[in-house]
Structure 1
Amino acid sequence: MLDAALVGMGRWGQTLVNSVQGRNGAGIRFVAGATRSPEKARGWAAEKGLDLLPDLDTVLADPRVRAVVLATPHGQHAEQVIAAARAGKHVFVEKPFTLSRAEAEAAVAACREAGVVLALGHNRRFLPAVAEMKRLLAEGALGTLLHVEGQISGAAADAWKPGMWRADPHESPLGGMGAMGIHMIDMLINLAGPIERVSVISQARVLTIGLDDTTAMLCRFRSGPTGLFATLASAPRVWRVGLFGTQGRLEQRDPETLVFHPREGQGWERRFEPTDIERAELEAFAAAVAGGPAYPLPPEEAIHGVSVFETMIHANASGGPALVP
């Protein structure tokens, strides 16, 4: 059993704990935690059996704690990952991993030097429909992959107010990218490989808090396909991924629905059972720590996802295409 501590007890941190705490077979349990607003979390922490500690330093000094789960503001991730690694703790960190490639590389290097597992919370990788998409791609069911499209949108930004960390443009560049869009960037990388070039338009159409609400990207993958991506921060919820090949088209219309249209013949639509993807990612983290399969998001892909995000920011500012390092 992997004894862990949660750092950041806001809504999402609590969601992570709730997905595994007290459930048989998860391989991980939370024994402690820290948060910047302890009074707001005290009752919940007591209910879940977490000792509420003063800060990250105290968490890292606790001999019970073998791993930390970071659900903190984006700009804090790199420093916190490095501190945890140097304390010998395994690390699960929420997305976005960091806000710059240099920070991501430093965090990965610290974990490698310390010999600890690093896991990044891109939970959509654990959807059964995504596993089926990867299988069909590998088997050549689509022929040559020509083009990829993805959209992830929602209305979360409608609730962001000035003074909230998510409403800080330094924490949320390109509007919904940090809260939502980075998930789709990771999915595009997961399905089609590294991205080599991007062009971006990002703007505020309806939000008045100093953040963009509409972000779109055109890209080219190193392996040749083109891609389109969009994230809207003040719109109905959408998760949609499309793969377009010479012999077929595959579309994930929502997390549980997959549709295949072959070039010739009869297509199909499949519904997958809903999956607790937060539990799945934490179980995979615990299994990796226990010496089982490696966490299914290689550090190189984590770094590349941050590099794409950072390049998107530069491309939007310049108004022209930009190459991804």
Structure 2
Amino acid sequence: MSYEPVRVASIGLGRWANIMANAIERSEKLKIVACYSRSVGKREAFAAKHNCEIEDNLESLLKRDDIEGVIVTTPNDQHAPVIEAAAAAGKHVYVDKPIAVSLDHARRIEKAVRDAGVVFTVGHSARRLAGVRKIKELMDSGRIGEVSMIETNFSNERGMELQPGNWRGDRLMAPGGPLTQLAVHHVDSLQYLLGPVVRVFSFMKSMYTPVDQDTATMTICEFASGKLAYIGANWASPGVFFMNVYATKATLFYDLDFGWWSKADVVDDHSKLILREFTSKGDDPDNRFLHDVPVTLERGDMFREQFEDFADSIRGLKAAPEIDAAQAIHNIAVVLAAVESSKTGKAVEIEDILKS
């Protein structure tokens, strides 16, 4: 169904804002009409590239009647004040993951969008990858049996590039380093697949970086269902993104070429999902052999799809976006619990973090 494109403005105009704008431009459901950043140079470059108007302050942008929603890609610790202002102005809000890096800010955001009655969603896009969607389908159908555990990793070399003054190198602005900035995607996808995490245990270390920031993290998650998962994340290796699912009938191995991550319209072409199961010859239980079956993945576009989900909710075609504030808060609570565990050397209950 076609409709008048939702008119949006981009706030925070770094590298990621341009990647998000490219995704919006692949859709007929949204249109970028304006932009704002504190940096004059970034404003001018973004406007020239994406053919939109410039506002030199947030207040003037939010007063515009032709803007229905905002796309927020500011640093994590700046999400709350921007979203509070946007919601108060009646603008619908998309914010890139994570929702915030403190529960105080996350709850401020949740209250602001609830009180204003605006559509709100968070960019946990990885659950929309063709491989993750197919894993969900195979789990729900019973094809692979009952899952016992999942292993994941999302890593790249960012930590070796960090310099003093970069906000990603600040433990308060990016707690857990790569766990907040990268593997929070796996936190969301795992809860999409297995339900809520209830307890975590984590190790975090600072390695190979000129700043005092965690760059290697290992987190074990226990779910309400009793299932288990491992999340690895580091900033000291070439790009990695994988998910291995262990179930009673089969094992799934999903691997994605991180070099294509920002090109969401083709990234699914650069990933593979293998189903490994036993095949038998005759009735002899010792005459069984493991057999790998490639699983066909249909190309999607995780970034475009998340914005169209946002737009459809604004236009009333959906009751709400797939990812809401409550889910996003639980995602960051898992990260904060992992950070606390790494400090104390003890397992941490998610409920204790949410009550803190």
TM-score (norm 1): 0.94
Unaligned runs of 5+ in 2: 257-267, 281-290, 352-356
1:286 Cα shift?
Answer: 0.9
With over 3 angstroms needed to count, the CA separation of the structure-2 counterparts of 1:151 and 1:5, relative to structure 1, is: same
Find 1:66's aligned residue among 50, 65, 68. 68
1:57 Cα shift?
Answer: 2.0
2:332 aligned counterpart, secondary structure: helix
CA distance in 2, matches of 1:93, 1:48: 19
Partners of 2:207 and 2:236 within 8 A in 1: no
2:276 aligned counterpart, secondary structure: strand
Partners of 2:127 and 2:185 within 8 A in 1: no
For 1:123, give the aligned amino acid: S
Which residue pairs with 2:199 in the alignment? Answer: 197
Say whether 1:279 aligns with 2:294: no
1:273 Cα shift?
Answer: 4.9
With over 3 angstroms needed to count, the CA separation of the structure-2 counterparts of 1:212 and 1:228, relative to structure 1, is: same
Which residue pairs with 1:147 in the alignment? Answer: 149
1:221 Cα shift?
Answer: 0.6
Say whether 1:81 aligns with 2:107: no
1:282 Cα shift?
Answer: 1.2
For 1:308, give the aligned amino acid: V
Q: Work out the percentage of aligned pairs sharing the same amino acid.
A: 28
Partners of 1:38 and 1:52 within 8 A in 2: no
1:169 Cα shift?
Answer: 2.1
1:264 Cα shift?
Answer: 4.5
CA distance in 2, matches of 1:303, 1:130: 21
Partners of 2:176 and 2:335 within 8 A in 1: no
Say whether 1:296 aligns with 2:322: yes
CA distance in 2, matches of 1:78, 1:11: 21
Say whether 1:3 aligns with 2:7: yes
Residues 220-254 of structure 1 deviation map (CA, whole Å, 9 limit, x = unaligned): 11111111111011201111011111222112122
CA distance in 2, matches of 1:28, 1:218: 39
Aligned-residue RMSD, C-alpha = 1.7
Residues 121-168 of structure 1 deviation map (CA, whole Å, 9 limit, x = unaligned): 111122122111111111122222111111001112333221122222
Which residue pairs with 1:13 in the alignment? Answer: 17
For 2:235, give the aligned amino acid: A
Larger radius of gyration: 2
1:315 aligned counterpart, secondary structure: helix
Which residue pairs with 2:260 in the alignment? Answer: none
CA distance in 1, matches of 2:299, 2:158: 22
1:13 aligned counterpart, secondary structure: helix
With over 3 angstroms needed to count, the CA separation of the structure-2 counterparts of 1:263 and 1:97, relative to structure 1, is: farther
CA distance in 2, matches of 1:274, 1:160: 34
1:148 aligned counterpart, secondary structure: strand
1:15 Cα shift?
Answer: 0.8
CA distance in 1, matches of 2:211, 2:316: 46
Say whether 1:250 aligns with 2:244: no
Partners of 2:106 and 2:329 within 8 A in 1: yes
Say whether 1:133 aligns with 2:135: yes
1:179 aligned counterpart, secondary structure: helix
Partners of 2:155 and 2:239 within 8 A in 1: yes
Find 2:48's aligned residue among 46, 56, 62. 46
Partners of 1:258 and 1:269 within 8 A in 2: yes
TM-score (norm 2): 0.86
Say whether 1:307 aligns with 2:330: no
1:19 Cα shift?
Answer: 1.8
Residues 277-319 of structure 1 deviation map (CA, whole Å, 9 limit, x = unaligned): 2222112211111112332224322121011111111111111
